[in-house]
Chain A
Amino acid sequence: MAISKDEVLHVARLARLALTDEEIERLTEELGAILDAVGVVAELDLADVPPTSHPLDLVNVWDEDEPRESLPLDDVFANAPERDGDLFRVPPTT
């Protein structure tokens, strides 16, 4: 099942990957082949089969509303690429 270059670009945008031209070409081919292989799942008529999200049948797993200690600031920023005071700094969104 082929995937078009446009679709590859669209997906790359959604996934926030700035692919190079070489990557786009290679991925278009590779993804096409993989989609061919995985696409066989469409052979099965599964309208009456419920989907499985969890292999273990648990429900209602939750915690009481009791506060636990938060991280000290040094830990919060220990790996931060750019710290500005006590805030994380990133380039502007527009």
Chain B
Amino acid sequence: MIDTLRLTAEDAISLVERREVSATELHAAYLGAIAERDGELHCFLRTCDEPHGSSIPIALKDVISTKGIDTTAGSRILEGYTPVFDSTVAARVKAAGLSVLGKTNTDEFAMGSSTENSAWGPSCNPWDPSRVPGSSGGGTAAAVSAGLAPWGLGSDTGGSIKQPSALCGNVGLRPTYGTVSRYGVVAFASSLDQIGPVAKTVRDVALLYSIIAGRDPLDSTTAELPEVVALPEGDSLAGVKLAVPKQVADLDAIEPGVRAAFEAALDQARELGAKVGECDLPLSYRYGMPCYYLVAPAEASSNLARYDGVRYGPRVAGATFGEMVDHTRDAGFGPEPKRRIMLGTYALSAGYYDAFYGQAQRVRTLLIREHREALDGFDAIVTPTSPTVAFPIGDKAADPLAMYACDLLTIPSCLAGLPGLSIPCGLSEGLPVGLQLVGRQFGENGLFRLGHALEGAIGFDTVPERLR
């Protein structure tokens, strides 16, 4: 019996390579787990019956184009859309022998922090199905934690990989901007979107990163990795210097239980030999969210202009082209994309560009500088990933600003294009708490080493208690 709840991707690959289990059997085991538990959790929007690769399966967030497999980005405006080409990341995982297990749920166009913005309904947290799994990559994170997939790919714009990993108790990496191709990934905010791995362990995440990362000639914003991805080993943090931003102490938004688990993790780090110091990110915490909620919606308002009912997607009839487009878009987009399209259009419009989008781009420059200075002399900046643990479904849905605040801790480093790794560091009221490690540009190997050692010391059991 294959215990998909416990199996890491590395274990699974090893099983298949040693021929103890066939690729087909493994695939079937995950489909079995999905049949058993996904009715309740609603992680998958669709699954693939047959494995096409010789290795293990992988779940892909439904913003990632997969040839011949519907890709909806969580939106009705792409209902029934079947891509005729693979995204680069899908092509690379397939080339590595991985089989697409299925497409996981996402907030519409990756906009949101809970999956409650998905046109297909929310996903549920496997630790407590009355709560959100986080988002926008909630489907992938929940699937991994619930043993419905050995690993998966999500997308992160303001925290959409890290935050759900924190809420579901697994490991998620938001890579350095430009190390993973966006070609074929339904675009939300072009200068922020990155595809990244989600798995149970840091080593799994590193392995998946090594499969997808590297320059893509089809994506002009990608660069070659300056060094080969190294799978982490070792359990010491001797000589490592971590920095906690001063501002974290004063952030009321951080729940006491989250703070406690975070502090306990820092103690563990010290025991492994790390020094924990302080850095100063005053602009990032005051202006990070406002900057993000100007830059991202502005780019999104333009990226979503192609959804006009002309070449794909469901069309609402109209007597004129204008009518058809207006009604197709109004019917197809849910409230959150509409909100962001309106916000972004406004921020770019004549008379407002300088004060809003233009200003936000300058703020971004300051945030980049601030992070560079903060990392000077340190190996990583460390914070809790999410200010809260998983919240009940429906709690924040009516208040957009409250929802946006979930990304308070992840947004600043996203704007700076820096890599961020979230690892589970403890529980609060029985729900997972995540620890975020932010590194330099191209500093993934360092983050993997750090995360792996800390992970070992913390010894977090990634299987949700109620499923053990």
A positions within 8 Å CB-CB of B = 3, 7-8, 11-12, 14-20, 23, 27, 30-31, 33-35, 37-42, 44, 46, 49-56, 58, 61-63, 71, 75, 78-82, 88, 90-94
Contacts and interface: CB of A to CB of B under 8 A. Distances in A.
Contacts of B315: 81-82
A46 B310 CA distance: 42
A12 B342 contact: yes
12 contacts: A12-B342, A17-B333, A18-B327, A31-B339, A37-B290, A38-B356, A39-B290, A41-B294, A44-B366, A51-B358, A55-B368, A91-B317
Contact of A51 (B314, B321, B356, B364): B364
B417 A55 contact: yes
Interface in B295-335: 301, 305, 308-315, 317-327, 329-330, 333, 335
Contacts of A53: 191, 361
Contact of B338 (A17, A40, A42): A17
B223 A52 contact: no
Contact of A42 (B318, B335, B355): B355
Interface string B178-196: 1000000000000100000
Given A16-B325, A38-B294, A79 B363 contact: no
Tell me if A's interface is mostly helix, strand, loop or mixed: loop
Given A38-B356, A49-B362, A15 B81 contact: no
Given A49-B365, A61-B221, A90-B310, 7 more contacts: A11-B346, A17-B333, A41-B291, A44-B359, A50-B362, A56-B176, A79-B82
B84 A44 contact: no
A17 B178 CA distance: 32
A62 B256 CA distance: 50
A69 to B, nearest CB: 12
The 4 closest A-B pairs by CB, nearest first: A55-B417, A51-B361, A79-B312, A18-B326
A18 B329 contact: yes
Interface in B385-410: 400-401, 404
Given A12-B342, A55-B177, A79 B362 contact: no
B321 A93 contact: yes
B349 A11 contact: yes
Contacts of B311: 79-81, 88
Tell me if B's interface is mostly helix, strand, loop or mixed: helix
A49 to B, nearest CB: 4
Contacts of A79: 80-82, 84, 311-313
A55 B339 CA distance: 25
Contacts of A38: 289-291, 293-294, 343, 356, 360
A92 B320 CA distance: 5
B47 interface: no
Nearest to A63: B217
A17 B342 contact: yes
Nearest to B80: A79
A31 B290 contact: no
Interface in B210-245: 217, 220-221, 223
A61 B219 CA distance: 9
A88 B317 CA distance: 15
A55 B346 contact: no
A49 B366 contact: yes
Contacts of B294: 38, 41
A61 B220 contact: yes
B342 A8 contact: yes
Nearest to B366: A49
B415 interface: yes
Contact of A44 (B80, B312, B322, B363): B363
Contacts of A40: 286-287, 290
B217 to A, nearest CB: 7
Contacts of A16: 305, 308, 322, 325-326, 329
B24 interface: no
B355 A19 contact: no
A9 to B, nearest CB: 11
Contacts of B325: 16
A60 B364 CA distance: 23
Contact of A55 (B308, B327, B400, B415): B415
A46 B359 contact: yes
Nearest to A40: B290
A41 B287 contact: yes
Interface string B91-103: 0000000000000
B345 interface: yes
Contact of B221 (A31, A42, A54, A92): A54
B86 to A, nearest CB: 12
A3 B177 contact: no
B254 interface: no
A76 B80 CA distance: 15
Contacts of B191: 53-55
B382 to A, nearest CB: 21
